[in-house]
Amino acid sequence: MQNVGFLYSIIPCLKEIYGTDENRLKNAAIRHFDFFNTHPYIANTIIALTLVLEDEKTVNEETKSQQIKSLKLHLGGPLAAIGDTFFWSRLRPLCGLLAAGYVFLQYETLNQVQCDTSCHFLVPLAFIFLYNTPHIFFRFFGFWLGLKYKTDVVKIITNVRLQKISEIIRIVGIFICIFVLVAYIITSEKYRVAGALVFLTSFILIKKNVSVISIFWGLIVGCVGIGFLM
Protein backbone atom coordinates (compact mmCIF):
# COMPACT_ATOMS: atom_id res chain seq x y z
CA MET A 1 0.00 0.00 0.00
CA GLN A 2 2.52 2.62 1.17
CA ASN A 3 5.61 0.73 0.03
CA VAL A 4 6.25 2.89 -3.05
CA GLY A 5 5.90 6.12 -1.08
CA PHE A 6 8.15 4.71 1.64
CA LEU A 7 10.86 3.86 -0.88
CA TYR A 8 10.51 7.25 -2.60
CA SER A 9 11.06 8.94 0.79
CA ILE A 10 14.28 7.11 1.62
CA ILE A 11 15.85 6.65 -1.83
CA PRO A 12 18.05 9.79 -1.50
CA CYS A 13 19.40 8.46 1.80
CA LEU A 14 19.95 4.99 0.33
CA LYS A 15 22.00 6.52 -2.47
CA GLU A 16 24.05 8.34 0.16
CA ILE A 17 24.56 5.16 2.21
CA TYR A 18 25.50 2.79 -0.63
CA GLY A 19 27.17 5.31 -2.93
CA THR A 20 28.31 3.79 -6.20
CA ASP A 21 27.54 0.19 -5.17
CA GLU A 22 24.55 -0.24 -7.52
CA ASN A 23 24.03 -3.90 -6.62
CA ARG A 24 23.54 -3.20 -2.91
CA LEU A 25 21.42 -0.14 -3.72
CA LYS A 26 19.21 -2.29 -5.94
CA ASN A 27 18.82 -4.93 -3.22
CA ALA A 28 17.94 -2.23 -0.68
CA ALA A 29 15.27 -0.82 -2.99
CA ILE A 30 13.77 -4.26 -3.69
CA ARG A 31 13.34 -5.13 0.00
CA HIS A 32 11.27 -1.99 0.52
CA PHE A 33 8.70 -3.10 -2.07
CA ASP A 34 7.22 -5.49 0.50
CA PHE A 35 3.83 -4.66 2.00
CA PHE A 36 3.91 -1.67 4.33
CA ASN A 37 1.09 0.29 5.90
CA THR A 38 0.92 2.64 8.87
CA HIS A 39 -0.39 6.04 9.85
CA PRO A 40 1.22 8.69 7.61
CA TYR A 41 1.95 11.07 10.51
CA ILE A 42 3.96 8.41 12.38
CA ALA A 43 5.62 6.86 9.33
CA ASN A 44 8.63 9.16 9.77
CA THR A 45 9.57 7.34 12.96
CA ILE A 46 9.73 4.02 11.09
CA ILE A 47 11.62 5.71 8.24
CA ALA A 48 14.26 6.91 10.71
CA LEU A 49 14.61 3.45 12.29
CA THR A 50 14.90 1.87 8.84
CA LEU A 51 17.67 4.25 7.81
CA VAL A 52 19.56 3.48 11.02
CA LEU A 53 19.47 -0.23 10.15
CA GLU A 54 20.38 0.43 6.53
CA ASP A 55 23.46 2.33 7.69
CA GLU A 56 24.73 -0.55 9.82
CA LYS A 57 28.13 -1.51 8.42
CA THR A 58 28.70 -4.64 10.53
CA VAL A 59 25.53 -6.52 9.49
CA ASN A 60 25.42 -8.66 6.37
CA GLU A 61 22.77 -8.05 3.71
CA GLU A 62 20.57 -11.04 4.53
CA THR A 63 20.43 -10.28 8.25
CA LYS A 64 19.83 -6.60 7.54
CA SER A 65 16.99 -7.41 5.18
CA GLN A 66 15.28 -9.63 7.77
CA GLN A 67 15.68 -7.02 10.49
CA ILE A 68 14.15 -4.28 8.35
CA LYS A 69 11.23 -6.44 7.22
CA SER A 70 10.52 -7.46 10.81
CA LEU A 71 10.73 -3.86 12.00
CA LYS A 72 8.30 -2.53 9.39
CA LEU A 73 5.91 -5.45 9.83
CA HIS A 74 5.71 -5.31 13.63
CA LEU A 75 5.68 -1.53 14.08
CA GLY A 76 3.43 -0.50 11.19
CA GLY A 77 0.19 -1.87 12.60
CA PRO A 78 0.48 -0.75 16.26
CA LEU A 79 1.64 2.75 15.32
CA ALA A 80 -1.18 3.00 12.77
CA ALA A 81 -3.71 2.22 15.51
CA ILE A 82 -2.21 4.88 17.76
CA GLY A 83 -2.15 7.46 14.96
CA ASP A 84 -5.70 6.72 13.78
CA THR A 85 -7.10 7.05 17.29
CA PHE A 86 -5.16 10.15 18.29
CA PHE A 87 -5.01 12.25 15.11
CA TRP A 88 -8.10 11.29 13.14
CA SER A 89 -10.60 10.15 15.76
CA ARG A 90 -9.68 12.68 18.47
CA LEU A 91 -7.56 15.63 17.36
CA ARG A 92 -9.28 16.35 14.04
CA PRO A 93 -12.84 16.45 15.45
CA LEU A 94 -11.64 18.59 18.38
CA CYS A 95 -10.06 21.15 16.04
CA GLY A 96 -13.23 21.20 13.96
CA LEU A 97 -15.32 21.79 17.09
CA LEU A 98 -13.10 24.65 18.21
CA ALA A 99 -13.23 26.37 14.82
CA ALA A 100 -16.96 25.84 14.28
CA GLY A 101 -17.83 26.69 17.89
CA TYR A 102 -16.02 30.02 17.66
CA VAL A 103 -18.01 30.99 14.57
CA PHE A 104 -21.22 29.75 16.16
CA LEU A 105 -20.69 32.15 19.05
CA GLN A 106 -19.48 34.98 16.83
CA TYR A 107 -22.68 34.75 14.83
CA GLU A 108 -24.58 35.84 17.91
CA THR A 109 -22.25 38.69 18.87
CA LEU A 110 -21.84 40.10 15.33
CA ASN A 111 -24.55 40.94 12.90
CA GLN A 112 -25.12 38.42 10.11
CA VAL A 113 -23.41 40.52 7.41
CA GLN A 114 -20.20 40.87 9.42
CA CYS A 115 -20.14 37.16 10.25
CA ASP A 116 -20.81 36.12 6.66
CA THR A 117 -17.88 38.17 5.36
CA SER A 118 -15.32 37.32 8.04
CA CYS A 119 -16.20 33.91 9.47
CA HIS A 120 -16.20 32.14 6.11
CA PHE A 121 -12.44 32.71 5.93
CA LEU A 122 -11.82 32.26 9.62
CA VAL A 123 -13.21 28.72 10.00
CA PRO A 124 -10.92 26.91 7.53
CA LEU A 125 -7.89 28.96 8.55
CA ALA A 126 -8.48 28.25 12.24
CA PHE A 127 -8.98 24.54 11.57
CA ILE A 128 -5.90 24.30 9.34
CA PHE A 129 -3.74 25.99 11.97
CA LEU A 130 -5.09 24.04 14.94
CA TYR A 131 -4.88 20.66 13.22
CA ASN A 132 -1.69 20.98 11.18
CA THR A 133 0.53 22.49 13.88
CA PRO A 134 0.65 19.39 16.14
CA HIS A 135 0.78 16.78 13.40
CA ILE A 136 3.53 18.57 11.43
CA PHE A 137 5.49 18.93 14.66
CA PHE A 138 5.06 15.20 15.34
CA ARG A 139 6.34 14.32 11.85
CA PHE A 140 9.67 16.05 12.52
CA PHE A 141 9.82 15.07 16.18
CA GLY A 142 9.08 11.42 15.38
CA PHE A 143 11.88 11.32 12.81
CA TRP A 144 14.29 12.83 15.33
CA LEU A 145 13.22 10.30 17.98
CA GLY A 146 13.85 7.42 15.58
CA LEU A 147 17.35 8.61 14.73
CA LYS A 148 18.32 9.37 18.32
CA TYR A 149 16.81 6.49 20.29
CA LYS A 150 16.62 3.83 17.55
CA THR A 151 14.55 0.81 18.67
CA ASP A 152 14.02 2.34 22.14
CA VAL A 153 11.66 4.81 20.47
CA VAL A 154 8.85 2.27 20.90
CA LYS A 155 9.17 2.48 24.68
CA ILE A 156 9.22 6.27 24.49
CA ILE A 157 6.03 6.44 22.42
CA THR A 158 4.37 3.98 24.80
CA ASN A 159 5.36 6.08 27.83
CA VAL A 160 3.78 9.17 26.25
CA ARG A 161 0.39 7.45 26.79
CA LEU A 162 -1.26 8.75 23.66
CA GLN A 163 -4.29 6.58 24.38
CA LYS A 164 -4.88 8.40 27.66
CA ILE A 165 -4.38 11.76 25.96
CA SER A 166 -6.87 10.68 23.29
CA GLU A 167 -9.48 9.96 25.95
CA ILE A 168 -8.88 13.39 27.52
CA ILE A 169 -9.31 15.05 24.11
CA ARG A 170 -12.58 13.14 23.60
CA ILE A 171 -13.95 14.40 26.91
CA VAL A 172 -12.76 17.95 26.18
CA GLY A 173 -14.53 17.81 22.80
CA ILE A 174 -17.82 16.82 24.42
CA PHE A 175 -17.40 19.53 27.04
CA ILE A 176 -16.82 22.10 24.25
CA CYS A 177 -20.14 21.04 22.70
CA ILE A 178 -21.84 21.63 26.05
CA PHE A 179 -20.10 24.98 26.49
CA VAL A 180 -21.03 26.21 23.01
CA LEU A 181 -24.63 25.13 23.50
CA VAL A 182 -24.87 26.86 26.88
CA ALA A 183 -23.05 29.97 25.64
CA TYR A 184 -25.44 30.22 22.72
CA ILE A 185 -28.40 30.11 25.11
CA ILE A 186 -26.82 32.67 27.45
CA THR A 187 -26.17 35.15 24.60
CA SER A 188 -29.89 35.13 23.87
CA GLU A 189 -31.54 37.55 26.30
CA LYS A 190 -34.71 35.48 26.33
CA TYR A 191 -32.96 32.36 27.63
CA ARG A 192 -30.05 33.87 29.57
CA VAL A 193 -31.21 32.70 32.99
CA ALA A 194 -32.01 29.21 31.67
CA GLY A 195 -28.55 28.99 30.11
CA ALA A 196 -26.88 29.96 33.37
CA LEU A 197 -28.86 27.29 35.21
CA VAL A 198 -27.95 24.65 32.62
CA PHE A 199 -24.26 25.50 32.90
CA LEU A 200 -24.36 25.46 36.70
CA THR A 201 -26.21 22.13 36.70
CA SER A 202 -23.71 20.62 34.25
CA PHE A 203 -20.79 21.78 36.41
CA ILE A 204 -22.33 20.25 39.55
CA LEU A 205 -23.04 16.95 37.80
CA ILE A 206 -19.45 16.77 36.49
CA LYS A 207 -18.12 17.41 40.02
CA LYS A 208 -20.30 14.49 41.21
CA ASN A 209 -18.59 12.24 38.60
CA VAL A 210 -21.61 12.01 36.32
CA SER A 211 -20.56 10.96 32.83
CA VAL A 212 -19.93 13.91 30.51
CA ILE A 213 -21.55 11.91 27.69
CA SER A 214 -24.72 11.47 29.79
CA ILE A 215 -24.84 15.21 30.46
CA PHE A 216 -24.32 16.00 26.78
CA TRP A 217 -27.10 13.71 25.59
CA GLY A 218 -29.34 14.95 28.37
CA LEU A 219 -28.87 18.50 27.11
CA ILE A 220 -29.64 17.44 23.56
CA VAL A 221 -32.82 15.64 24.57
CA GLY A 222 -33.85 18.55 26.80
CA CYS A 223 -33.31 21.14 24.07
CA VAL A 224 -35.24 19.08 21.53
CA GLY A 225 -38.08 18.56 24.00
CA ILE A 226 -38.29 22.27 24.85
CA GLY A 227 -38.22 23.07 21.15
CA PHE A 228 -41.30 20.93 20.55
CA LEU A 229 -43.14 22.51 23.49
CA MET A 230 -42.47 26.10 22.43
Report, as an integer, the average pLDDT of 109-121.
54
Report, as an integer, the average pLDDT of 166-174.
73
Q: Per-residue confidence at 106, pLDDT binned at 50, 70, 90?
A: low
Mean residue pLDDT across the chain: 76
Check residue 113 and give its pLDDT: 46
Is it the case that residue 118 has pLDDT exceeding 70? no
Q: Write out pLDDT tens, residues 21-65.
A: 888 888 888 888 888 889 888 889 899 988 888 888 666 777 778
Is it the case that residue 211 has pLDDT exceeding 80? no
Q: Per-residue confidence at 136, pLDDT binned at 50, 70, 90?
A: very high
Check residue 212 and give its pLDDT: 61
Report, as an integer, the average pLDDT of 127-146.
88
Is it the case that residue 156 has pLDDT exceeding 80? no
Report, as an integer, the average pLDDT of 12-27.
87
Is it the case that residue 107 has pLDDT exceeding 70? no
Report, as an integer, the average pLDDT of 143-163.
76
Is it the case that residue 189 has pLDDT exceeding 70? no
3-state SS record for the chain: CCHHHHHHHHHHHHHHHHCCCHHHHHHHHHHCCCCCCCCCCCHHHHHHHHHHHHCCCCCCHHHHHHHHHHHHHHHHHHHHHHHHHHHHHHHHHHHHHHHHHHHHHHHHHCCHHHHHHHHHHHHHHHHHHHHHHHHHHHHHHHHHHHHHHHHHHHHHHHHHCHHHHHHHHHHHHHHHHHHHHHHHHHHCHHHHHHHHHHHHHHHHHHHCCCCHHHHHHHHHHHHHHHHHHC
- Ranking 86-100, 136-150, 179-193 by mean pLDDT, the lowest is 179-193
